[in-house]
Structure 1
Amino acid sequence: MDTNQYMEMFLEESKDHLQSLNERLLDLERDPADSSAINEIFRSAHTLKGMSATMGFTAIAELTHDMENVLDLIRNDKLKADEDIVDVLFKCIDALQQMVDNVSDGDPENSVEVKDLVDRLNAIATGNQQPAAPKAAESAGKKADNETIVPPTDIELSDIDLDLINSAKDSGLRAMQVKVILADTCVLKTVRSYMVMSALDEIGDVIKSIPPTEDLEQEKFDLEFELILLTGEEEQKVESILMNISEIKKVIIKLINVPAPVKKNISVEKKASVPAAVKKNAPAVKKQAIQHHDNMKSGQSVRVGIERLDSLMNLVGELVINKTRLEQIGNTHRIAELVETVEQMDRVTGDLQSIVMKVRMVTVGQVFNRFPRVVRDLAKELNKEVNLTIEGEDTELDRTVIDEIGDPLVHLIRNSMDHGIEHPDDREAKGKSRVGKVGLIARHEGNNVIIMVTDDGAGIDANIIRNKAIEKGVITQEDGDNMTDAEAVRLIFLPGFSTSDVITDVSGRGVGMDVVRTTIEALGGVIDVETKKNEGSIFKIKLPLTLAIIQALLVDVQEEIYAIPLAAIDSTINITPEDIKTIQNKETIVIRGEIIPIVRLDRALNVVSAEDKEDEEIYVVVVHVGDKKCGIMVDKLIGQQEIVIKTLGKLLSGIKVISGATVLGNGQIALILDVAILMQ
């Protein structure tokens, strides 16, 4: 079999199962008696094993098989999921993740060394396994390898089921209880169950299934299910038909005998096929299975590569640009019909843009769900007790932002746990709970998403930060004396700054917080920190919903047009040269009693400027990044416009003041200003 066509599906499904294994194993660690958790873990491991075996990745299949041996003992209450066993299982999951990553990168899956893990799993399994009680001969069938096959048990039948069975018997049909056992390597169990339903539909009707159809559709069953079939065929024929379906390991059939019904005035048309009464009332199981198959064919959801979504977004962007161009032509030449058409086109492109944006949106839960495991492992490494709470995991962000935000959040979580949360004994001495709290919170705020990492630890001592910065030569003593505590705390975001005297695997290498700030600002966001000594810290990240199409204010500087993102603008004002005051060699203005530094955009961009006119009004765009404000002096204000962000490419990527470019309606290029860099 050519498995290459299934590779993408295998990698995606493996990722989902590994994430499920991580999450549910954490649940099991918290509550070793959680039967639903162990069942989900077993099911995910079993499915991953089957998928891997089908794809030919034997190393993954063998490791998951050895995990199954231990999980089965836990599931059957023959083994307790203590700390040592959970640690081994977590290491197995890490090894499996590395194997899947190797497959994704085109490397051999078996390059990961797992012999020690396999030996430990086997030792756990053989050291605790108890011999199973023998099954009665009449209640069990045997396979060649002595595996016990349990025959169908009696199924509780409703009055409707009994009426259907008796009606069928009156027509000379048989009622059979069919138990289907899938092969251990079965990958798509739902598809196999549908194939069974379809095959039986050719020779009769299925009136009941155990588990219910909904569970079969959602693959909420292990490797076996049972059906009630009404048919005119012999048992051997039914068994033969089903055994011809691939990945069916065993079919066991038992005839159903029910008491004769009380005579009713029911007319039943006798014929060789299934009676009309049975056909009419028939099984929702079969209908739902067919509906499920139709859905599978038409596709209720489709996996689409991010490259295709990017291409679609680019096309929508071009449409927005040309719409603006048509709007300009219509207004310039006063073509009423064109203006009316463009207005309608504006509504359509707006709806199309909104749909494309939503398609690109994914929940931050895809990033957040990795952190329970991170916190668990780091707490053990640091010998601390930490409880992680997550809020707002359903908050949506652009896929591009989601892909980039993971690493900064890892840095912030590690920082909170290493620098923030104290050792349990120290917390107890302060009158705190021994268990520290770390929080991950996400929420929408206008056209932005706010993500916060909180902790109830020691907080950040502004004096320690200030003194360390002076010691390292980052700031002067005079600068330190003039700094507020809030400004001093923000020094942690400077490159190479660290307060740790000891280098560890967790922190103290002088990297991390500056990387966080750089990454966040590259995404068009800002980061800030609030802290109180002995109460904790809050790192607050503000990110744009999308990076593709934004609202911007167009400004003119020396006959060149520039775009300032509207989300960064506080207000626009007109001033005169007399309003500009110089404080500590910096030009400033006063707005409503607040002193705000100003930046002359022509000087910042090194463009030739005309001589200043003393009586001429000056346009100032007041922008903000976090709590900091700045006024940007420009020649003219053109107006607000929706723009499509285009990257500058590798050749111009080093220009810090410019974050991108856009094409205006008249075909002219406008550069997009990086407000955060201008304010530095």
Structure 2
Amino acid sequence: MESSSLPELTGLFLDEVEEQLQIMEQEILKLEQYGESEETIQSLFRAAHTLKGSSATMGFDEMKRLTHELEHVLDRLRNRHLRATKSLINLLFKGLDQLRVLKAEFAEGVGTYTEIGPLLEELQHAADGEADPVEGRNEVPEAFLFTGDPAIVSKVQDALESGLKVYEIEVHLSPDCPMKSARGLVIHNQLDAWGDLLEAAPTLEELRREESFSFTALRFLLATDADPSRLKEALLSLMDITDVTVSNYHPLKQSHRFERMSIPSDEPEKRTISPTIAERGRGAQTIRVDVERLENLMNLVGELVIDQTRISQVERVLHHRYLSDENVDELRHITDHLIRVIVELQDSVMKVRMLPIEQLFTRFPRMVRDLAQSLKKEVDLVIEGGETELDRTVIEEITDPLIHLIRNAVDHGIEPAEERKRLGKTTKGRLRIRAAHEENQVVITVEDDGAGIDPVKMKESARLKGIITEEELKRLSDQEAVYLIFRPGFSTASSVSDISGRGVGMDIVRNHIEKLNGVIDIESKPGEGTRFKIKLPLTLAIITGLLIKLSGRTFILPMSSVVEIVRMPPEAVQTIKGDTVVVIRDRVLPVIWLHDYFHLPRVPQKKNHHPIVVVGIAEKRFALMVDELMGNQEVVVKSLGTYIGKVVGISGATILGDGRVALILETAGIDQLIRRKW
């Protein structure tokens, strides 16, 4: 079946594939971190089975064949015929990546697909046990047998608090062992003598009750102070035992607040992960809606918001003109009700456009895992606030900047394990990504505990590259030096890797964020780490704007860029070395007349106090001189269109209540205009 033959069915199929691929990625990461829990493997198996059925229905043979082989491997894993070794995990990720490629090719309708024969052979060999199923057994790997039973967890915690170690032990018997029950009892008694046997499969009662077994492996949970290598050696010395695995035990827990991933880790610690997409979706009643329909609905609501403003203005005029007219009073009541309905409608449509930012955050664990492995680093990824909602358009636009910041943090922020150990840090670096609502904005932080940004090196690098003059360098504080990272072409890296170069492209990151009417700040301490803090508006479609007048014309400043509004006497504006400045709260700020940049005449002020709007971009602050402040209101952002194109300093336009068009100022663009003139 061609992907273009049934567009609606194809769209539903692709949505289903993407959802199942996300589940598979999350579950493979869990499998790597926490071992072979029955729940994780079953969830993986269900996802692969669902994809196989869906692709078969669509006549997508390549995906059906690949998911069939993945399903076979997972079935072998589920039945304990295979082990979740590093090579098998990597093979599952390889299969997942190939499924994404096939999905993209199907969506494009190319008709021909990437050759999957070699990968199918790899999966077949793995299912037959030819993919190094016992890799790494000389070490003490992470546990995978018992998965969070509250009674077991309580026993484990009591044992750990008393200073004991807790191990999962798997003992493989020879297939031709004549008395498996008797041999099982011997092993059981031997382990019981070494410590406190918390759990066993089969249990002691089952071993005594049955005369014969078809099993070839026994599994135990043991609390002991014995050395794991001595345990293994003692068990291997018994007859009819072919192999023994001793593993650290960590109970698997779940939380809705944040998810965590370690790559790699040999240290026991509490870990928390978020529920899968399938788990979150249980019980929810949802339908899929085409994005274009949502966009059209948002545009119609935007038109209503404009008309609401105009109706309110007309009502006020009529009310003042005809005070005693009952019809005007009735119009006021109708207008008030209409405004309430439009506000509620606007809020509802905005919520429909909102998506949890977790849909973006789910991409990062796999990315960080692959980066850490390729760089041979140990990284502990903590993700918080995935439930924070943001406009889907903003999520799409912020993806690339966030990926760049994360790759920089892993590549150049977090030091290698040996270096961290030498510095007295834990060998495992910490990378924290967090989202939260603050007032009418979303704040996203990307924080690492790596090397930090050294302001001395920043200044020296900027001087050598000619980015800053010697005179500017002398006036530069350490905090301001850190922000040099956003200058075009700036980098402190001695060599730029194919992953990232800290500083390379950071100017693009900031420009991208500022185009969203957002702000990015940096906090960094050498040797302790770096935090990037991004503030974004909830939506780009409707913003709260400050209405200002310049030479009789109305302009709108996004409130997200406004730091404060003050009124100052004319004598407060001073000139220092040819630059006009004003001192506000003990800080010297450059004064900007937007009139000059938009070729408008300055209007002499008749009042004793001049209105000044302080605007902020990252660490920068400047004071805008305006003729008049007209209050703030919600405005619908309209594009200038391809005919006019991009205008520096202008992000769009809106229609005011009186029907006139007002231009919406872009703070980042104003900053560019200022730099050009200077």
Write the distance in 2 (CA, Å) between the matches of 1:613 and 1:641.
Answer: 25
**Which residue among 607, 617, 621 is the counterpart of 1:625?**
617
Please list the CA deviations of residues 625-679 of structure 1 after superposition, one character each: whole Å capped at 9, or x if unmatched: 3443221111112222221111112333431211111100111000011123324
Which letter does structure 2 place at the counterpart of 1:328?
A: Q
Cα contact 1:32–1:82 (8 A) shared by 2 = no
- For residue 219 of structure 2, what is the aligned residue in structure 1? none
Q: Does 1:492 align with 2:485?
A: yes
Tell me which moved more, 28-37 or 8-17.
28-37
Which letter does structure 1 place at the counterpart of 2:415?
A: E
Q: How does 1:504-519 map to 2 (within 5 A)?
A: 504-508=497-501, 511-519=504-512
Query: What's the secondary structure of 2:540's corresponding residue?
Result: coil
**C-alpha spacing 1:505/1:113, structure 2 compared with 1 (3 Å):** farther
Which letter does structure 2 place at the counterpart of 1:630?
A: F
Q: Of the two, which has the highest radius of gyration?
A: 1
Structure 1 residue 494: Cα displacement: 2.0
- For residue 365 of structure 1, what is the aligned residue in structure 2? 358
Write the distance in 2 (CA, Å) between the matches of 1:655 and 1:636.
Answer: 24
Q: Which runs of 5+ in 1 are unaligned?
A: 134-217, 221-291
Tell me which moved more, 304-313 or 91-100.
304-313
Write the distance in 1 (CA, Å) between the matches of 2:341 and 2:607.
Answer: 47
Write the distance in 2 (CA, Å) between the matches of 1:97 and 1:365.
Answer: 19
Which letter does structure 2 place at the counterpart of 1:52?
A: S
Tell me which moved more, 342-351 or 99-108.
99-108
- For residue 405 of structure 1, what is the aligned residue in structure 2? 398
- For residue 78 of structure 1, what is the aligned residue in structure 2? 81
Q: Does 1:303 align with 2:288?
A: yes
Cα contact 1:530–1:538 (8 A) shared by 2 = yes
- For residue 178 of structure 1, what is the aligned residue in structure 2? none
Write the distance in 2 (CA, Å) between the matches of 1:614 and 1:504.
Answer: 60
Tell me the matched-pair count: 516
- For residue 25 of structure 1, what is the aligned residue in structure 2? 28
Please list the CA deviations of residues 369-424 of structure 1 after superposition, one character each: whole Å capped at 9, or x if unmatched: 11000010000111101111110000000111011111111101100001110000
Query: What's the secondary structure of 1:111's corresponding residue?
Result: coil
Write the distance in 2 (CA, Å) between the matches of 1:615 and 1:554.
Answer: 19
Cα contact 1:360–1:399 (8 A) shared by 2 = yes
Cα contact 1:501–1:508 (8 A) shared by 2 = no
Structure 1 residue 575: Cα displacement: 2.8
Structure 1 residue 510: Cα displacement: 6.4
Q: Does 1:347 align with 2:340?
A: yes
**Which residue among 124, 127, 135 is the counterpart of 1:125?**
127
Please list the CA deviations of residues 570-600 of structure 1 after superposition, one character each: whole Å capped at 9, or x if unmatched: 3323333322112243211122322222110
**Which residue among 647, 663, 672 is the counterpart of 2:655?**
663
- For residue 561 of structure 2, what is the aligned residue in structure 1? 568
Query: What's the secondary structure of 1:372's corresponding residue?
Result: helix
- For residue 13 of structure 2, what is the aligned residue in structure 1? 10
- For residue 577 of structure 1, what is the aligned residue in structure 2? 570
Q: How does 1:536-575 map to 2 (within 5 A)?
A: 536-575=529-568
Tell me which moved more, 529-538 or 578-587.
578-587
RMSD: 2.3
**C-alpha spacing 1:473/1:641, structure 2 compared with 1 (3 Å):** same
**Which residue among 635, 639, 663 is the counterpart of 2:631?**
639
Structure 1 residue 496: Cα displacement: 2.3
Q: Does 1:394 align with 2:418?
A: no
Cα contact 1:78–1:128 (8 A) shared by 2 = no
Tell me which moved more, 618-627 or 95-104.
618-627
Write the distance in 1 (CA, Å) between the matches of 2:278 and 2:370.
Answer: 31
Which letter does structure 1 place at the counterpart of 2:95?
A: C
Which letter does structure 1 place at the counterpart of 2:94?
A: K
**C-alpha spacing 1:619/1:459, structure 2 compared with 1 (3 Å):** same
Please list the CA deviations of residues 241-288 of structure 1 after superposition, one character each: whole Å capped at 9, or x if unmatched: xxxxxxxxxxxxxxxxxxxxxxxxxxxxxxxxxxxxxxxxxxxxxxxx
Please list the CA deviations of residues 299-335 of structure 1 after superposition, one character each: whole Å capped at 9, or x if unmatched: 9322112221111111111111111111111111223
Structure 1 residue 613: Cα displacement: 6.0
Query: What's the secondary structure of 2:128's corresponding residue?
Result: helix
Please list the CA deviations of residues 117-145 of structure 1 after superposition, one character each: whole Å capped at 9, or x if unmatched: 22211222224599xx9xxxxxxxxxxxx
Please list the CA deviations of residues 194-229 of structure 1 after superposition, one character each: whole Å capped at 9, or x if unmatched: xxxxxxxxxxxxxxxxxxxxxxxx999xxxxxxxxx
Please list the CA deviations of residues 454-497 of structure 1 after superposition, one character each: whole Å capped at 9, or x if unmatched: 11111111111221112111111221221111111111122222
Which letter does structure 2 place at the counterpart of 1:465?
A: M
Write the distance in 2 (CA, Å) between the matches of 1:428 and 1:27.
Answer: 27
- For residue 590 of structure 2, what is the aligned residue in structure 1? 597
Please list the CA deviations of residues 86-119 of structure 1 after superposition, one character each: whole Å capped at 9, or x if unmatched: 11110111111011011122223x5323233222
Write the distance in 1 (CA, Å) between the matches of 2:56 and 2:90.
Answer: 25
**Which residue among 499, 522, 529 is the counterpart of 2:522?**
529
TM (norm. structure 1) is 0.73
- For residue 111 of structure 1, what is the aligned residue in structure 2? 113
Please list the CA deviations of residues 175-207 of structure 1 after superposition, one character each: whole Å capped at 9, or x if unmatched: xxxxxxxxxxxxxxxxxxxxxxxxxxxxxxxxx
Write the distance in 1 (CA, Å) between the matches of 2:360 and 2:607.
Answer: 55
Query: What's the secondary structure of 1:20's corresponding residue?
Result: helix
Structure 1 residue 616: Cα displacement: 6.0
Write the distance in 1 (CA, Å) between the matches of 2:526 and 2:430.
Answer: 15
Which letter does structure 2 place at the counterpart of 1:337?
A: E
TM (norm. structure 2) is 0.73
Write the distance in 2 (CA, Å) between the matches of 1:491 and 1:510.
Answer: 9
Query: What's the secondary structure of 1:495's corresponding residue?
Result: coil
Structure 1 residue 56: Cα displacement: 0.9
Which letter does structure 2 place at the counterpart of 1:342?
A: T
Q: Does 1:427 align with 2:441?
A: no
- For residue 453 of structure 2, what is the aligned residue in structure 1? 460
